[in-house]
């Protein structure tokens, strides 16, 4: 098991309207979250391989270095993410298996067929709350093997990602 996170410049560019895709607060949150994930993996004997670059190329590089035989990645749902997902899949020389990871409810547990989902969120939410349950989380492993890469990589700074961090607003409830 080789956990990998790629900081892809695609997500730190601008939209077609000229707005940043990832702002300062989200960038800070992302870097802090990846740092915590790395620390948690190190606590159980593993590590997080961090790369900066385009996801298909960076992932292929790690795959070649460790001679991996399968990749597991979260299944994406929106257009840009699906485009990158397809690009990754097309550039890999090994199988990739996508798993659901970004939803509170598993799609099979939603009390609707895809073509009958209510158009109004409140109607959807009320039925889901009444008729669905959240599946239990997997237990955290007690240990994972160490990663077998030459260089695990480092966390980028916001400026390396091209993002300006906005100072904290003292009116905010949380730091």
DSSP-derived secondary structure for 60-87 = HHHHHHHT-S-EEEEPP-SHHHHHHHHH
- pTM for the whole thing? 0.85
Instruction: Tell me the per-residue pLDDT of 48-89, one tens digit each, with 9 for 90 and over.
Output: 999 999 999 999 999 999 999 999 999 888 888 898 889 889
Residue 72: name the closest of 83, 91, 85, 81 by CA.
85
| Pair of tokens at residue 115 | 């073509």
Instruction: Tell me the per-residue pLDDT of 150-168, one tens digit each, with 9 for 90 and over.
Output: 999 999 999 999 998 777 7
Instruction: Tell me the per-residue pLDDT of 5-53, one tens digit each, with 9 for 90 and over.
Output: 999 999 998 989 999 999 998 999 999 999 999 999 999 999 999 999 9
Give residue 110's pLDDT.
87
- For 137, half-sphere exposure in the C-beta direction (CA atoms, 13 angstrom radius) is 6
Please tell me whether residue 55 adopts helix, strand or coil conformation: helix
End-to-end CA distance of the chain: 34
């Amino acid at each position: 098991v080789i956990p990998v996170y790629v900081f892809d410049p695609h997500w730190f560019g601008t939209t077609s309207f000229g707005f940043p895709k990832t702002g300062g607060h989200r960038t800070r949150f992302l870097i802090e979250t990846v740092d915590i994930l790395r620390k948690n993996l190190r606590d159980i004997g593993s590590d997080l391989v961090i790369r900066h670059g385009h996801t298909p190329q960076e992932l292929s590089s790690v795959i070649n270095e460790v001679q991996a035989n399968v990749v597991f990645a979260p299944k994406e749902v929106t257009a840009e993410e699906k485009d990158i997902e397809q690009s990754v899949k097309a550039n890999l020389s090994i199988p990739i298996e996508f798993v659901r990871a970004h939803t509170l409810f598993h799609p099979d547990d939603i009390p609707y067929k895809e073509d009958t989902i209510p158009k109004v969120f409140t109607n959807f939410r009320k039925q889901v709350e009444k008729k669905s349950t959240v599946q239990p989380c997997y237990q955290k492993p007690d240990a994972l093997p160490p990663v077998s890469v030459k260089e695990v990589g480092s966390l980028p700074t916001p400026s390396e990602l091209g993002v300006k961090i906005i100072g904290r607003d003292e009116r905010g409830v949380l730091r």
